[in-house]
Amino acid sequence: MAIVQLLKRGNTSSGIAAIGNMVLAILKFFAASFSGSGTMFASAMHSLADTVNQGFVYFGSALAEMKPSKRFPIGFGRVVNIFCMIAVIVVTIMAYETILKGWKLLQHPEEATDFLLNVAVLAAAIIIDGFILFKAMKEILEEAHVEKSGNILTQVFRNVGKASPATRLVFYEDLVATSGAFLALIGITLAQFFGVLEADGVITIIIGLLMVFVAFRVGYDNMVGLIGVAAPIEVEEKVAKIILEDADTVDIHHLRILQEGRSYHIDGIIELRKGFSLAEADDIKFRVRDRLLREKEIADVALGIIEDDDKSSWQPKTTSK
């Protein structure tokens, strides 16, 4: 029962994406085997890679939600980064196979058959991948605590770095998957109606290169996550605001916020008004800590306290793009 509850807390986007891409991979391989289309094979390889990746990431995101233990006192937030790195290896291997297939088709073009079957499968891919992509975009804005307004795609690209590693992976992969399905549609159309058989190989290679881009982008993000990355400026400013809203806190001497998965770990020293006894100062510290822990994304808080040194230490950072 505990395992079921844990799986329910896994990343929703990656779970749905794994199921959707598994269906697409089966349909595309079926179509590719009948038609001999290289672009359909490339698209099928991409869907298979997405299925494996997003399945890995879903289970990784669920395991990352496990509670801290005596042996692992800061929790398991980085487990999802490890699973994402495994996914990167899978994407890289699939990308290599796809590019190799495209190169062979470029050297020896082959005429594909069953045009309508290919079109039907790619149309289904665009619909399913588009739905998963839209859901991932909504989840990015929710995780970044941004209200939808104006161009949602612009908002998503501005805030994708604030989303969890699992959601970012789904977004990048399905952005490429949807684009790849469109490209594949163009490729089989050029081959069918204009006799440009080389388009099959060219677009297969392009899809493979897009998969390389996903591997690089996701690999970089998760390598940074494994090393330990500072929280976004907006999160730091929000934490500082909560601390300074306390009537007895006059300054922040030191503040460090580490992002781990969807959670943040806070370590800081706050300056209090002069004249408090040690017991009173402790009460203030615990009061500030409890206010911070009410924020669901904050996993733990370690605060030190010192008396006001009559110097201004905390300087809010400005957001730079």
More confident residue, 243 or 3: 243
Can you tell me the mean pLDDT for 140-161? 81
Give the separation between CA 291 and CA 280, rounded to whole angstroms. Answer: 17
Average pLDDT over residues 199-220: 85
What tens digit of pLDDT does each residue of 247-266 get?
Answer: 999 999 999 998 876 678 89
Structural domains present in the chain: 1-227 (1.20.1510.10), 233-307 (3.30.70.1350)
Residue 127: exposure state from Cβ atoms within 10 A (0-12, 13-18, ≥19): middle
Half-sphere exposure of 12 (CA within 13 A, CB side): 12
The candidate with the shortest Cα–Cα distance to 306, out of 274, 279, 280, is 274
Name the percent of the chain lying above pLDDT 90: 17
Looking at residue 307, what is its pLDDT?
92
pLDDT mean over 290-313:
89
d(CA 281, CA 302): 15
Amino acid at 127: I
Mean pLDDT, the chain, whole residue set: 83
* Mean pLDDT for the stretch of residues 54-67: 81
pLDDT at 188 over 60: yes
Q: How confident is the model at residue 2 (pLDDT cuts 50, 70, 90)?
A: low
Q: Which of 219, 212, 265, 258 is nearest to 82 (CA)?
A: 219
* pLDDT score, position 286: 94
pLDDT of 255 reads 93
Q: What is the pLDDT of residues 303-317, one digit of tens each?
A: 999 998 888 888 766
Which residues touch 248 (CB under 8 Å, ≥6 apart)? 272, 273, 276, 284
pLDDT in tens, 162-180: 777 778 878 888 888 888 8
CA distance 243 to 165: 28
Q: What is this structure's pTM?
A: 0.70
What pLDDT was estimated at residue 320? 41
**Per-residue model confidence as pLDDT tens digits over 86-141:** 888 888 888 888 888 889 888 887 676 778 888 888 898 899 889 889 988 988 88
The three-point CA angle 60-176-146 to 5° equals: 65
Q: How high is the pLDDT of residue 319?
A: 46
Question: What pLDDT shows up at residue 318?
Answer: 52
Q: What is the pLDDT at residue 282? A: 93
Side-chain half-sphere exposure of 301, counting CA atoms within 13 A: 24
Q: What is the pLDDT of residues 17-53, one digit of tens each?
A: 888 888 888 988 888 888 777 777 877 887 887 788 7
* Helices and strands (H and E) in the chain: how many: 10, 4
Give the model's confidence band at 184: pLDDT under 50 very low, under 70 low, under 90 confident, else very high: confident
The helix or strand, by DSSP H or E, that contains position 264, with its residue range, turns out to be strand 263-272
> What's residue 321's pLDDT?
39
CA 223 – CA 88 distance, rounded (Å): 11
- Spatial CA neighbour of 203 closest among 14, 46, 73, 87: 46
Name the more confident of 145 and 160: 160
pLDDT at 62 over 50: yes
pLDDT score for 1: 42
